[in-house]
Amino acid sequence: MVPRISPVIQIIPPVTQKTVAGGSSAGNERDFLVCSESTTANTTNQTSIELPYEYKAAAAIGRGITGQRSYPVSPETNPEYWNWNKKIFELAKKEGLDPYDVVYWVCKRDQLLQAAARGGFPVNVSHWRNGMEFYELHIGHEFNVSRIYEMIINNDPSHAYLLEGNALVDQKLVMSHCMGHSDFFKNNIHFRFTNRSMLNRIAEHASYQRNVMDSEGISFLEMEQFLEKAYSIDDLIDYSNLEPRQLKYELHQNRPIAKVPDDYGIIDASELPSHMQGRINNPERLREERDAEKERLDREAQKIPKYPDYDVMGFIIENSKVLKLWQRQVLMHAREQAYYLAPQGLTKIMNEGWAVYWHRRLMSHPEIVDLRDASAFADHNAGTLAMSGGRLNPYKVGYEIFMDIEERWNTGRHGRQWEEIEDERERRDYDDKSMKGFEQIFEVRKWEKDMTFIDKYLTPEVAKKLKLFTWEQEGENYILASREFEKVKAKFVEQLFMGTGIAVRDGNYDNKGELLLHHDFRFDLKQDYALATMKNLLSMWGNTIHLNTKLYWASDDENPTPVRIIAENITLADSGKAKAGIKITIRRALEEVNKETGLIDYTPTNVLYETMEEVKS
Amino acid sequence: MRIGVTDKTPIVKPPLKVVTPPPLATQGDLLGTLENAQESKTTPLATPHFFSPRLLMQSLLFNSIADPDLQRYQDILKGKVREDLKKFKTPGEMFGVKGGKIVSIPVPKIGIPHFTRGSGKGGGTAQGDGEEGDVLGEPGDAKPGKGAGSEPGEHIQEIYVPMTLSEIAETIIKDRKLPYLKPKGYGAAKEKSIKWNTKSKVGIDLDINATIINAIKRVGAEIGDKFDLETDEGLNALLDQVAIEEQDKVFISWREIEKPQVSVAIIYKMDVSGSVTDEMKEKVRKAARWLSIIIQYQFGLVRAELRGDKFSNEHFGEGVEEVFIIHDSSAKEVTEEEFYTTRENGGTQISSAYELEEKIINERYDPDTWNIYSFYFGDGDNWGDDTPHSIDLMKRLAERVNEVGYVQVESHYGSGDFYDYVKEFASEQGHVRAVKITAEGTEDLDKVIDEMLGDKGDKKD
């Protein structure tokens, strides 16, 4: 008999437990479905081989996949792939990689795309955004526009997908590629805080969503709309500190109340004689205690971030006065997923470059590919490394730089000694036979992220080989601005800076509980999106939002204008009836350095733009 | 290919933790697997050789579930729900290859607003060929980071992926009903058809789902008392005992059924004479096209309902026959294609079209068994003497058919007076409808559809 599988980390909010205890219809349905967890185990009973625990967990959690007749590669289900997997894994270890175990799932195209549309996870929070992604991927596949080569989840063990019906050489390519990714996940310093059982965790997010809708009576539409708000701010996290800070807000904690309760400090002495009551509940003592408590509550209410807080999402979760319990929880889930994905965004070029480097290395090994398959492999590899015009291909850029590092460190063409050589030819042919290249790329893989990777290791020769250039907007057109190495590199590094640069400056602005955000200007915000996001923030914060930013107010402006965007709740008087409304104001602002803090402050002045609209419930 | 025996690298650890039996780690073992890997080119054992009923049932169950998120997204795209998202909808586009041609595929997207980069001011980096100062692309579609060469220069053929005709019809004309439709020919004619809706004890196509359920029922009745079916463990234990026997098998079988029949004939008549400008012809063709789509869809619905089927794309236009007539001073029957493309120059005799129509109805479409809808499109100019005769013909027609429609197009210079005659006669009878539209724009196409297919009370015979 197979025991019920419980998720690895069980953080179940009180509401969920209530559901289970109450035995609602959803609970029953879930119980029935959980029967499927043993699908893999059942087959193994026949052969008396017990599959690893991770399989079962994945089978239960990823039943979206198992149910649709996809299966994990194991000696029973697919001995051929299993053997290749084993061989490639051994070879990768022998060559020096240190990857997680990888569980491969063989699935059909649509299942692969469905998982891809959910960030690689077969089960994720339900939202139409997933449908949109799926639709786009599906059309792309249908018309040969885009094709998913590989997909792997940063998890221990990593889970990767193989497309059913692909040729064996493709599957081997994917397996080799995944070795690189898995090694990168495990060893790169920026991944050290990611949750390695995210597969389970995200399934919990999804089941929380289902259960809370039942137990709290939240309509589908309400949940959907709130998720849109959550997604609209899920890039407002702190990319410079990838360890998400522990939020002070906890589920069981009662909301702080700004008002001192009436019976504060009063000791129940009703059983004592009346003359004793006056002494015990001395009015003077009571007043003192109440004053002290009031002061404490006021201080708490006035709490502001000590330093600019780039984790706007976390700040809102902690300090918002209007979020309901489930909304807070959904926001926390969105934040968790954003922090989980952040290192993958920060190391996209390196990660892909490393994986390409390794699939080429492993696939050129005679044990893995025989000559008959070599041309097929070359085709697919060329597809991965193709320079599609205009866009940056992270596979190509990363791969070329890794190759360059290896070569330069092999020949000693780096460091001061080499740079001081003046003769052009001597520089080019310099070779001290130090052969440190292989060590060096492992160092790079361990410590760098894309920004530092490009900054330190992009050379003029590689930039030329990759045909890199900078572009600029000139009037109506985009023009190719320069191919000068210094400019290209500077722009490239700047472009790799993740995040919007929006931080909370003050959580109690003007002592009214308003929220002041500040945008460290690198680029101007898209205006209609920015205003819509301000509205979302307003509904989540519940009080006025201020945002300092810069806009190109007139389309032909050379320099951006500093402005303060303000979104506030107002009451509209419409033919005698009061209606809830939102007012959005854009004010010109004066930019000056605050001498006390050393930060740039904006002082709003005249109104540039004003709009009011009714809130439709 | 063989691996040399001299390869002495020990295997440190199997790639995945298999508990028993431990596939550790001898050289022979490795050699064996390698040889196997080379030889076992046979089809991988995708499904376990033992089919647990539970496993099968699960797979059947899940296979039938479509992606609810995709469904929701498509509903939003069609505008059924969430009007508030409309403003963030962008007409995305992809370039793909189909049949050797480059095609543009519309991929509409809905953006979730967030703080993001607005203009291209400030620049960026990209990869590709080109000289300094080259223009990279249209700013309208070029996102920062996208540059030269991403647009194919060859001829682009537009194709529409997302909507079928019936989907379009559904979005536009959900609430409208086909007026005065009768189940004509109900008793007289019945189509014979085969429907795979019956279960049988013998046959070829095994109904796996029903078979499994039968097996579970049988086993449950035999030994169900031994298990605690309230718990998962109990249920699982029972399900493990289930095996399919011959008596459980259920096959899918067919039965001959008779479908009630209802048929529609739509007769379009159009004035193609010299007085009708190209612009006006364009307009009436559009109107005719819309009417045709809507009627076919609505009729499909009615027909599906009448037979107790669920409406599907196959019902679209089933059982609808269309007749196209063009006329100047004389009338002739044409194909649909000709109807939408022909131009002629000549005088105008409206009666000629109605005469031909009467003849066609007499020959082919007996009003007792056909629902007939007759539409006329023109500019209202008629040969002076012909008008009374035409009205007479129309009156005669109105007694026999379900609906008579008259659409008149006006140009800048006004239009003829035939509309007034029809209007006068139409006011007496609800199923005779006349409408006047202008030649420009497409806004008043709605008016045509409303007037022609709107509800105007019962038919007064």
The alpha carbon of residue A362 is apart from the nearest alpha carbon of chain B, in Å, by 16
- pLDDT-based confidence at A511, cuts 50/70/90? confident
Alpha-carbon distance of B218 to B209, in angstroms, equals 14
**Which amino acid belongs to residue A480?**
L
**Overall average pLDDT of the B387-401 stretch:** 86
Question: Do A100 and A150 fall into the same domain?
Answer: yes
Q: Which residues of A touch B236 (CB under 8 A)?
A: 1-2, 35, 38
Residue B399 lies in a domain: yes
Among residues B228, B259, B290, the one where a domain terminates is B259
Is the Cβ pair A524, B119 closer than 8 Å?
yes
**Overall average pLDDT of the B218-240 stretch:** 76
pLDDT at B414: 67
* pLDDT tens per residue across span A82-106: 999 999 999 999 999 999 999 898 8
Question: Do B314 and B345 fall into the same domain?
Answer: yes
Residue B231 lies in a domain: yes
Judge whether residue A223 has pLDDT over 60: yes
Is the Cβ pair B123, A473 closer than 8 Å?
yes
Alpha-carbon distance of B13 to B35, in angstroms, equals 20
Question: Do B284 and B389 fall into the same domain?
Answer: yes
Question: Do B251 and B265 fall into the same domain?
Answer: no
- Write out residues 316-355 of A within 8 Å (CB-CB) of B: none
pLDDT at A54: 46
Q: Which residues of A touch B132 (CB under 8 A)?
A: 469, 480-483
Question: Do B286 and B369 fall into the same domain?
Answer: yes
Question: Do B383 and B432 fall into the same domain?
Answer: yes
Where does A35-154 have alpha helices with state H? Answer: 39-47, 53-61, 63-66, 79-95, 109-117, 128-142
Q: Which is nearest to A454 in space by CA: A412, A410, A481, A486? A: A486
Residue A146 lies in a domain: yes
Question: Do A510 and A442 fall into the same domain?
Answer: no
Is the Cβ pair A79, B72 closer than 8 Å?
no
- Cα A63 to the center of its chain, rounded Å: 24
Size of interface A-B (CB pairs under 8 A): 329
Domain ranges, residue B412: 261-453
Residue B138 lies in a domain: no
CB nearest B232 (choices: A34, A43, A84): A34
Question: Do A455 and A561 fall into the same domain?
Answer: no
Q: Which residues of B touch A68 (CB under 8 A)?
A: 59, 62-63
Residue A60 lies in a domain: yes
Q: Which residues of B touch A71 (CB under 8 A)?
A: 46-47
pLDDT at A255: 47
Residue A309 lies in a domain: no
Q: Is A23 left (phi over 0), alpha (psi -120 to 50) or beta?
A: left
A255 touches chain B (CB under 8 A): no
Is the Cβ pair B142, A478 closer than 8 Å?
yes
Question: Do A22 and A159 fall into the same domain?
Answer: yes
- DSSP annotation of B87 reads G
* pLDDT tens per residue across span A318-327: 888 899 999 9
Question: Do A481 and A527 fall into the same domain?
Answer: no
Judge whether residue A333 has pLDDT over 90: yes
A574 touches chain B (CB under 8 A): no
Residue A517 lies in a domain: yes
Among residues B244, B259, B274, the one where a domain terminates is B259
- pLDDT-based confidence at B137, cuts 50/70/90? low
Question: Do B268 and B382 fall into the same domain?
Answer: yes
Among residues A464, A495, A526, the one where a domain terminates is A495
Question: Do A159 and A18 fall into the same domain?
Answer: yes
Alpha-carbon distance of B312 to B301, in angstroms, equals 9
Question: Do A510 and A482 fall into the same domain?
Answer: no
* pLDDT tens per residue across span A430-459: 888 888 999 999 999 999 999 999 999 999
Question: Do B383 and B306 fall into the same domain?
Answer: yes
Q: Which is nearest to B229 in space by CA: A31, A492, A560? A: A31
* pLDDT tens per residue across span A347-381: 999 999 999 899 888 888 888 877 666 767 776 77
Question: Do B298 and B254 fall into the same domain?
Answer: no
Question: Do B386 and B356 fall into the same domain?
Answer: yes
- Write out residues 289-308 of A within 8 Å (CB-CB) of B: none
Is the Cβ pair A136, B118 closer than 8 Å?
no
Residue B237 lies in a domain: yes
- DSSP annotation of B369 reads T
A102 touches chain B (CB under 8 A): yes
The values of phi and psi at residue A424, to 5°, are -60, -45
Q: Which residues of B touch A400 (CB under 8 A)?
A: none
The tally of domains found in chain B comes to 2
Question: Do A440 and A577 fall into the same domain?
Answer: no
Question: Do B223 and B325 fall into the same domain?
Answer: no
**Which amino acid belongs to residue A13?**
P
Whether B390 and B420 have beta carbons less than 8 Å apart is answered as no
Q: Which residues of B touch A51 (CB under 8 A)?
A: 18
Judge whether residue B381 has pLDDT over 70: yes
Q: Which residues of B touch A139 (CB under 8 A)?
A: 94, 96, 105, 107, 161
Domain ranges, residue A414: 386-495
A338 contact partners, CB below 8 Å, separation of at least 6:
A234, A235, A237, A313
- Closest residue in A to B42 (Cα–Cα): A80
A392 touches chain B (CB under 8 A): yes
Q: Can you spell out the DSSP letters for A146-214?
A: ------EE-SSSEEEEEETT--HHHHHHHHHHHHHHHHHHHH-GGGTTS-TTHHHHHHHHHHHHHHHHH
A487 touches chain B (CB under 8 A): no
Is the Cβ pair B46, A233 closer than 8 Å?
no
**Which amino acid belongs to residue A616?**
K
Question: Do B324 and B397 fall into the same domain?
Answer: yes
Question: Do A41 and A148 fall into the same domain?
Answer: yes
Question: Do B353 and B248 fall into the same domain?
Answer: no
pLDDT at A231: 94
Residue B46 lies in a domain: no
B293 contact partners, CB below 8 Å, separation of at least 6:
B165, B168, B169
* pLDDT tens per residue across span A559-597: 889 999 999 999 888 777 888 899 999 999 999 998 777
Stronger pLDDT, B84 or B166, i.e. the higher one: B84
Residue B329 lies in a domain: yes
**Overall average pLDDT of the B38-52 stretch:** 34
Among residues B207, B224, B259, the one where a domain terminates is B259
For Cα atoms A7, A12, A18, give the angle at the middle one, nearest 5 degrees: 120
Is the Cβ pair A480, B133 closer than 8 Å?
yes
Residue A252 lies in a domain: no
**Overall average pLDDT of the A121-128 stretch:** 88
pLDDT at B144: 35
- DSSP annotation of B205 reads S
Is the Cβ pair A77, B125 closer than 8 Å?
no
Residue B244 lies in a domain: yes
Alpha-carbon distance of B291 to B448, in angstroms, equals 8
Residue B182 lies in a domain: no
The alpha carbon of residue A478 is apart from the nearest alpha carbon of chain B, in Å, by 5
The tally of domains found in chain A comes to 3
Question: Do A35 and A140 fall into the same domain?
Answer: yes
The alpha carbon of residue A19 is apart from the nearest alpha carbon of chain B, in Å, by 18
Is the Cβ pair B19, A471 closer than 8 Å?
no
A495 touches chain B (CB under 8 A): yes
Question: Do A392 and A424 fall into the same domain?
Answer: yes
Is the Cβ pair B18, A396 closer than 8 Å?
no
> Which residue out of A106, A128, A239 would a mutagenesis test of the B interface target, given it has the greatest number of B Cβ atoms within 10 Å?
A128
> Which residue out of B65, B112, B235, B236 would a mutagenesis test of the A interface target, given it has the greatest number of A Cβ atoms within 10 Å?
B112
pLDDT at A454: 94
pLDDT at A338: 94
Q: Residue holding tokens 């041309």?
A: A375
Q: What is the mean pLDDT of chain A?
A: 80
- Write out residues 125-154 of A within 8 Å (CB-CB) of B: 126-132, 134-136, 139-140, 142-145
Residue A485 lies in a domain: yes
Among residues A495, A522, A545, the one where a domain terminates is A495
A166 touches chain B (CB under 8 A): no
The alpha carbon of residue B155 is apart from the nearest alpha carbon of chain A, in Å, by 17
> In this structure, what CATH number is given to the domain that contains residue B324?
3.40.50.410
Judge whether residue A17 has pLDDT over 50: no
Question: Do A22 and A148 fall into the same domain?
Answer: yes
